[in-house]
Amino acid sequence: MAAGVLPFVRGVDFTKYNFKNLFSYIPYKTRNMSGLRWLSLNRTEMCYLPEELASLKKLEEIRVSRNELNSLHGDLGGLPQLKSINASHNHLKDASIPTDIFKLEDLSVLDLSHNQLTAVPQDLENCKTLLVLNMSHNQIESIPPQLFINLTDLLHLDWSNNNLETLPPQLRRLVHLKILVLNDNPLLHVQLRQLPSMVALTTLHLRNTQRNISNFPSNLDMLKSLTDIDLSCNELSRLPESLYMLSTLERLNLSNNEIQELSLLIDTWTKMQTLNLTNNLLTSLPTSLCKLQSLRCLFISDNKLDFEGIPASIGKLGCLEVFCADGNNLELMPESLCRCNKLRKLILSDNRLVTLPDSIHLLPDLKILDVRGNPNLVMPPKPVPVKEDANKVYNIDFSLNNQLRKIGVVPPGGAEQQTVSTKDHAARRLRLRRRHEAADSKAQKVLQGMSDVAHDKNVSGDLQDDESNAEMIKAGKKWNESLNKPDLDYSEIFSEEIGQFPGLTIWQIENFYPVHIEDVTYYGKFYVGDCYIILHTLMDESGNLSWVIYYWIGQDSSIDKKACSAIHAVNLRNMLGADGRTIREEMGDESDEFLEMFNNDIAYIEGGNASGFYSVEQTVYPTRLYALWGQRTVTPYPVPLETSSLNPEEVLILDHGMNIFVWVGANAKGVKRSKARLIAEKINKDERKNNAEIVMSYQGYEEGDFWEIFGGIPDEIVPSDLSVFRSSKPRLYKVNLGMGYLELPQVRYQLAMEHQTKPDPELTPRQRLLKSLLNTKNVYILDCHTDVFVWTGRKSPRLVRAAAMKLAHEISTMIHRPSFAIVSKQLEGTESVLFKSRFIGWTDVIKVDYTREDEKVIVQQDARENKIDLSAIFLPRQQSMPDAEALQLMEEWNEDLDVMQGFVLDGKKFVSLPQEEFGKFHSKDCYVFLCRYWVPSDAPAEEEEDEDEDQEDDIQCVVYFWQGHEATNMGWLTFTFTLQKKFEALFPGKLEVVKMKQQQENLKFLSHFHQKFIITNGSRKDVANIRSGKQEFYQIRSNGGMLTTRCVEIEPNPKLLNSEFCFILKVPFNNADSSGIVYGWIGRIANINEARLMEDMISTLFGDEYSVQILNEGEEPENFFWVGLGGKCETYEEDADYLHHVRLFRCSNEKGFFSVSEKCTDFCQDDLADDDIMMLDNGQVVFMWVGHQTSQVEVKLGLKTVSVYIQHLKSKGIKRRLKLVRKGNEAWDFTKCFHAWVPFDKP
C-alpha cells in the first residue's frame, strides 16, 4: 500500500506531532514520499534535521518552526528546487546557518526569526531571488551595506526586535518593497531618508524606535500606497503634518506617545478603519473625527478625556464596531453614541461614570459592555417586555384552567383576568429603528434590481422592430410549440447557472440523483459500473445558446442507475427548454460526436457506486469502551477494554453493539452521569435505530452481562490513568487531489479570543473544531490519536475518497498509537456520535430554543405547546385495601402456592434458609425464594369432569430475589451466575425471576408471610456477635392495608413513639442470670390486628431467650423501658392522621417530556429519585423535594407543578402550605411519612 500511494503525496503537514522520542521511525516513512513538494514539521520538538530529507529531491518548501533545532546543517543545500525555508522559533546561532542554502537558485522565502543570531548570515547577499526576508527577534546589531545591492526584489522585510542603531543607505534600492517592519530597535539617530524612495510601500511599522518630531521621516506623504502605519511606544508630542496628508491610510497606531491634541485635518483619512490613540495626553477629540465614515475601531483608553472631550456628533460613525475609552475621566457618555447601531464592543471601565444613556440597551449587536471601576455608576433600567402569561415556563402553560382542560375537566368559574396594557416605549423605539433599517435595505435592493434590468435592456437592445413583433404575434404556432409543459421545479437537482456558458458539464448518478462533477480533470474518465449525464452547451455567432444532452451507460451499471440517468436527462432538457431528444451512449459503442467532445480520449475505470436500492447487510459493531472528558461540553474518547479502565472517578460508556452500558463510578459526578446517558441515547438513536438496550450500571452493582464482556468478574481492580489516551488537539487534514499528486494540509481552526487574561478552556473557542470547516465537495481526515476518521462529502470525487482511505491507514501506522485505535469512514449526513462530539455544537442531544423568551417569536415559530403530563395530580388518592379483600387475596395466593423454598447468601454462595428464620430479613443480606404455583386449567367445566384424575396439573415457578437496603450488588451477580442457571435447567420455559428491594416488595410475595414480615438492621452474622448487647427498637406499620404490614427496626428514640402504632423494644442485661427483657408497646389507638401480630413477631425475633412484657401506652416502667430508649419523652405524637392523606408524586423527564406519576401508598425512602423532583403531601404541607442531581429545568417545571397542585386543592376548599426540601435536610414532618427513615449519607 505504501508503494502505491505515498509516492503521489505532494505535501503533508505533521504540525504538533511529537517526533522527539519516535524520530527514528517517523522520517523513514517520508523516504517513500519521493514526489513531496512541501513538508511542515512545526512544533514537533525536533533537535536536528532528519537525514531522510536528502531523498526528497523535489521538495520546494520546508517548515520547521517552533522546534529545538540548534543547526540547519544537513542536506538542505542539496535540494535543488527548494524555494522556502521557515526555521523560526528555534535555537539557531551564527554558525548554525549553512552558506550553501544561499546558492539555491529558486530560494525566495527565508524566515530565521526568533533565534539567537548576532549577525547577518554570511553570503546572504548572494541570494538574489529572495522576496521575503524575516530576521526579527534576534540580536543583530548592524546590517552589511552590500546586503541590499543584490536583494532588490524584496517584497517583505522584517528587522524588528533587534539591536540595530543604523540602517544602510542602500535600503533605498528596495523600490518593490511593500512591507517594512523595524519595531523595537534603537534608531534614535536614524532619519529614515530612504523611505520616500520605496514608492510601493503599503505597511510601515516603527513601534518603539525612539521617533519624535525631529527625527520623523520627512516627505512621508509621497508614499501614495501606504495603508498601515504603526508609530506606537515613541515620543511624539503631536502628529507631523505629512501624516495628515496620507489619505490612503486604513490603520494607524499612535498609542503610548505624548500626543496632547489632534488637528482638524484628520478628516482627510476618509479610508481609516482602525485608529488607536491609547495612553496619550488627549483632553478632547476633534469634531472632524465624525467624518471618518469608514472607521470601525476607535481606541482612546488611558487619556484625559471627559464628557466635553467626546464629540456630540460621534453617532455619525455608522460603521463603528469597537469603542474603547477606559481609564479616562468620563462622567457621562453622549446620547449619540447609541446611534452607532453596529457597535459590538463598548469598554468604559475605570472612569467616573454616573449613569449611561437609556438607549444603551437598544444597541442590537452589542456583545461586550465593560463598566468595571465606576463605583458611582447607576445603570439605567433595562426595558422589560410585559409577558402576556406569567404561568408559562419553557413555552408550557401551567395555569390551572389549561391543565384541567387537557384532562377533559371544565375549569371552575372565576373572575376574568383583567387585560394589562403591554405598551413598551423602549421596545417601540427599537422596533422603529429596525423598521427604518429594513426599509433602507429593501429600497437599495429595488434600486439595484431596476439598475440591472435597465443595463440588460441597453446591452441586448431591440432585436426586431414593431412590425416584426406584430408578425410574430399573428403567426400560427406549431403543434409541438402549442403544448403546455408541466411546471416542475428542478432547482434541487440542477442549479440555475447550468447551461448558461459554453462547454461541457457532467453529472454522475449516485443514490438515484445526479451529482455534479466540478473538477474538469475527471472529464472523460468513466467508471464501468456507473451512469453519467453529459451536457454540451454551444453558442453561435449571434450569441444564442443550444444544447446537446447525452446519457452514458456503463457496462456493469445497475438498472436503477440506467433508469435514473435517462429520467434526469429528460428533466435537464425540460429545464433548459432544449430542442431535440436526449442521446443514449453505451460503453464501447460511443458515437463519433460523443468522442469528439473528449478529443477521442476517454478512459474506463473498474468499479462504481453502490446501487441506490437497499441491500440487507449485517452491521458489525466493534466493542469499545469510552471515557468522558470535559465539564460543560463532554467529549467521549476510547480507552482500553480492560478492567483497569474502570476508574471510580469516571463515567464510562461500553458500546457492545445492541447493548450499551453506562458504567458509573462510585465517586463520579452526577452531571457527567447524566451527560453520558444522553450520549448513549444519541448513539442508540443515530447509529442503532433505537433498537439497542441502554443499561445503567453502577460500580458494585454491575450485571452479569457487563462482566462477561471483560471475561468475568476480576478479583481486584487497579484503576489506571485514562487521560493519557486523550488527544489534546485533533488534527484535521484536507485531502487535495490534483493531476497525479496528493496533498495533506492541516486545516487551521484556532480562533481568536476576546479575553486573553483568564481564558476558560470550556468557553473559549481555542483549539476547537467547527462543523462549517467541512465542505461537502471535499474529503477530510481527522486524527484524534486513538481514532482516525475519514469524512467524505457527498459531492466529493470518488478518486479522492479512495485515496483518503489509503492515506488514513498510512497516517495511522506512521504515528505510534494504542492497539485499540481504528480507522473509520464517516459519510456526510450519517456521522457517528463519536465523530460529531469533536466539533462545537454538533453533539446537542436535546435541542434548546433560546429565542422563546420573545412572545412574538413563540407565536410565529411554534404555535404548538411542548408536551407535558400533569394528569396524575388531578386524580383522587389511592385508597387502602379493605381488610376483607386483603384476607381473601392472601387466602387465594397461598392456596395456589405448592412449595416455597428459601435461600440466603452466605459468603459467596447461597445456602438454604433455616425454617426458624423464615420471614426474618436483614438489611445487609440477599435472599432468594423459589415459589411453585398451581395453575388452573382453562378447559370448560364439562371437559374437566371427563378428564383423568391422574392428569398432572400445570405449574408456574417464580423466583423472588430480595436485596436489603445496605446489601451490595454482589448477591445479584452471584445469583445470576449460579442459582438462576440451575433453576432454568430444572424448569425450562416456566421460570420467572422477580427482583425486589427492601420495602418495595409486591403484595403477592408479602402475602406468603401472613403479615409477619420482619426487617432487621445488619446481617445474619451480626446477630450473635455484635447485636446481642445492644438495644433494638422495631415499629409495626401498615402503609396500604393488611398485606403491607412490616416490622422494621428503627433508631431507639422515644420521639419516634406514636399512639397509633405498636413498637417492640429489646433491652439487654449485662448479668448472666438473664439475657434481658423485650417490651411490646401498644399505642392508645393502635390497630388491634397489629397488636395481636406483635406477640408472634416477638417470638420470631427473640425466641425464649428474653422475658416478654406487653405494655399499653402509659404503663411504661421507669427503670428499663425509658432507659432502653435513651430517656423519657413526653412530646411524642399521639396520632398518625397523615397516613390517611399522604401522597407521593414523582416529576421526571425520563419519558422524553415532563410528566408526573404517583407512587402507591406503600412507598418507602428508596422511592425518592436523586435526579428528579418528588412532591409529598402529608395532609397539611406539600413538600417539594429536590435531589442532588436534579436539573434546573426540572426544578422550574416542578415548582410550577406544585403550584398547580396547591391551586387545584384550593379550588376544592382544601388549604396546603408549600415547603422546599433539599436532599439531606429533611424535617420531621417529612420523614415521619416514611417507615423506618434513615438519614442520607453526606455527598
pLDDT single digits (tens) 633-659: 788 999 999 999 999 889 999 999 999
The pLDDT of residue 235 is above 90: yes
Q: What is the pLDDT of residues 1054-1099, one digit of tens each?
A: 999 999 999 999 998 877 667 789 999 999 999 999 999 999 999 9
Q: pLDDT band at 473, cuts 50/70/90? A: very low
Q: pLDDT band at 859, cuts 50/70/90? A: very low
Q: Which residues pair with 646 in a beta bridge?
A: none
* Torsional class of 607: left (φ above 0), alpha (ψ -120 to 50), beta (otherwise): left
Do the strands 1062-1068 and 1076-1082 form a parallel or antiparallel pair, or are they unpaired?
A: antiparallel
The whole-angstrom separation of Cα 521 and Cα 508 is: 14
CB 1095 within 8 A of CB 1078: no
The pLDDT of residue 759 is above 50: no
The whole-angstrom separation of Cα 491 and Cα 497 is: 10
Mean per-residue pLDDT over the chain, rounded:
85
With CA atoms as reference, report the closest residue to 234 among 178, 286, 192.
192
- The residues, any chain, with a CB within 8 Å of residue 381's CB and separated by 6 or more, are 358
Please compute the mean of the pLDDT values over residues 736-761 and round it to a whole number. 63
336-340, 355-359, 484-488, 1236-1240: lowest mean pLDDT where?
484-488
- The residues, any chain, with a CB within 8 Å of residue 278's CB and separated by 6 or more, are 255, 256, 299, 300, 301, 302, 303, 324
The whole-angstrom separation of Cα 623 and Cα 641 is: 8
Equal fold, 1-17+39-121 vs 260-384: yes
Q: Is the dihedral of CA 1086, 1090, 1096, 1098 positive or negative?
A: negative
Task: Print burial letters for 390-418: b (CB count within 10 Å at least 16), e (below 16).
Answer: ebbbbebbbbbbbbbeeeeeeeeeeeeee
Number of CB atoms found within 10 A of residue 661's CB: 22
Per DSSP, the three-state class of 887 is: helix
Q: Indicate the CATH number for domain 1-17+39-121.
A: 3.80.10.10
187-191, 478-482, 596-600, 1068-1072: lowest mean pLDDT where?
478-482
Q: What is the pLDDT of residues 237-255, one digit of tens each?
A: 999 998 999 999 999 999 9
Domain spanning 503-605, CATH class? alpha beta
126-140, 550-564, 851-865: lowest mean pLDDT where?
851-865
**φ, ψ dihedrals at 545, nearest 5°:** -100, 145
The pLDDT of residue 857 is above 70: no
Per DSSP, the three-state class of 708 is: helix
Q: What is the pLDDT of residues 302-360, one digit of tens each?
A: 999 999 999 999 999 999 999 999 999 999 999 999 999 999 999 999 999 999 999 99
| Fold that domain 260-384 belongs to in CATH | 3.80.10
Q: In the chain, where are the structural domains located?
A: 1-17+39-121, 141-233+245-255, 260-384, 503-605, 624-725, 731-751+764-840, 883-937+952-1124, 1137-1231
Q: pLDDT band at 418, cuts 50/70/90? A: very low
The whole-angstrom separation of Cα 544 and Cα 542 is: 6
The pLDDT of residue 931 is above 90: yes
The pLDDT of residue 463 is above 50: no
State residue 937's pLDDT score: 67
282-291, 330-339, 454-463: lowest mean pLDDT where?
454-463
- The residues, any chain, with a CB within 8 Å of residue 85's CB and separated by 6 or more, are 62, 72, 76, 101, 107, 109, 110, 111
The domain defined by 1137-1231 carries CATH number 2.40.50.100: no
SS (H, E, C) 929-960: EEEEEEECCCCCHHHHHHCCCCCCCEEEEEEE
CA 1227 remoteness from chain centre = 39
Please compute the mean of the pLDDT values over residues 475-486 and round it to a whole number. 54
**Rounded to two decimals, what is the model's pTM?**
0.60
State residue 482's pLDDT score: 54
Q: pLDDT band at 1025, cuts 50/70/90? A: low
State residue 968's pLDDT score: 87
State residue 225's pLDDT score: 92
Q: Is 79 exposed, middle or buried (CB count within 10 Å of its CB: 0-12, 13-18, 19+)? A: buried
Domain spanning 624-725, CATH class? alpha beta
| 469/593: higher pLDDT | 593
State residue 854's pLDDT score: 45
With CA atoms as reference, report the closest residue to 1120 among 1065, 1071, 1050, 1171.
1065
State residue 862's pLDDT score: 45
State residue 848's pLDDT score: 39
CB 318 within 8 A of CB 294: no
Rg over CA atoms, the chain: 42
CA 437 remoteness from chain centre = 36
The single residue listed with the C-alpha cell 402475602 is 1007
- Most confident range (mean pLDDT) of 576-590, 871-885, 1096-1110, 1172-1186 is 1172-1186
Q: pLDDT band at 1225, cuts 50/70/90? A: very high
State residue 617's pLDDT score: 58
What are 1237's three cell numbers?
Answer: 427513615
419-428, 526-535, 594-603, 740-749: lowest mean pLDDT where?
419-428
The pLDDT of residue 464 is above 70: no
State residue 382's pLDDT score: 82
With CA atoms as reference, report the closest residue to 929 among 1018, 1012, 1005.
1005
CB 107 within 8 A of CB 101: yes
The pLDDT of residue 1232 is above 50: yes
The whole-angstrom separation of Cα 767 and Cα 761 is: 9
Using alpha carbons only, what angle is made at residue 861 by residues 855 and 867, rounded to the nearest 5 degrees? 85
**φ, ψ dihedrals at 1055, nearest 5°:** -70, -15
Selected from 3.30.365.10, 3.40.20.10, 3.40.50.920, 2.60.200.20, the CATH number assigned to the domain covering 883-937+952-1124 reads 3.40.20.10
Please compute the mean of the pLDDT values over residues 1238-1242 and round it to a whole number. 86
The whole-angstrom separation of Cα 999 and Cα 1090 is: 18
The whole-angstrom separation of Cα 612 and Cα 609 is: 9
The whole-angstrom separation of Cα 871 and Cα 864 is: 19
Torsion of CA 529, 535, 536, 540, to 10 degrees: 170
State residue 438's pLDDT score: 61
- The residues, any chain, with a CB within 8 Å of residue 227's CB and separated by 6 or more, are 202, 203, 248, 249, 250, 251, 271
Q: pLDDT band at 1129, cuts 50/70/90? A: confident
20-29, 292-301, 587-596, 1117-1126: lowest mean pLDDT where?
20-29
Please compute the mean of the pLDDT values over residues 890-906 and round it to a whole number. 93
| 158/480: higher pLDDT | 158
The single residue listed with the C-alpha cell 462477561 is 708
Please compute the mean of the pLDDT values over residues 874-895 and round it to a whole number. 92
What are 1053's three cell numbers?
Answer: 428514640
CB 994 within 8 A of CB 1006: no
- The residues, any chain, with a CB within 8 Å of residue 716's CB and separated by 6 or more, are none
The pLDDT of residue 538 is above 60: yes
Q: pLDDT band at 953, cuts 50/70/90? A: low
Q: What is the pLDDT of residues 795-814, one digit of tens each?
A: 888 888 888 898 888 888 87
The domain defined by 141-233+245-255 carries CATH number 3.40.630.30: no
Number of CB atoms found within 10 A of residue 573's CB: 17
Q: pLDDT band at 762, cuts 50/70/90? A: very low
Q: Which residues pair with 905 in a beta bridge?
A: 910
CA 767 remoteness from chain centre = 14
State residue 1237's pLDDT score: 94
State residue 419's pLDDT score: 37
Per DSSP, the three-state class of 677 is: helix
The pLDDT of residue 470 is above 50: no
Q: What are the angstrom distances between the C-alpha of 1136 and each of 123, 1141, 1162?
A: 102, 10, 15
**pLDDT above 70 as % of the chain:** 86
SS (H, E, C) 774-827: CCCCCEEEEECCCEEEEEECCCCCHHHHHHHHHHHHHHHHHCCCCCCCEEEEEE
The pLDDT of residue 613 is above 70: no
Q: pLDDT band at 437, cuts 50/70/90? A: low
Q: pLDDT band at 845, cuts 50/70/90? A: very low
**φ, ψ dihedrals at 1043, nearest 5°:** -65, -20
Q: pLDDT band at 212, cuts 50/70/90? A: very high
The pLDDT of residue 938 is above 80: no
State residue 615's pLDDT score: 53
Please compute the mean of the pLDDT values over residues 533-546 and round it to a whole number. 89
CB 333 within 8 A of CB 309: no
The whole-angstrom separation of Cα 398 and Cα 869 is: 11
State residue 155's pLDDT score: 95
Please compute the mean of the pLDDT values over residues 524-550 and round it to a whole number. 90
Q: What is the pLDDT of residues 694-726, one digit of tens each?
A: 999 888 888 888 888 988 888 788 888 888 888
The domain covering 731-751+764-840 belongs, at the CATH homologous superfamily level, to Severin (3.40.20.10)
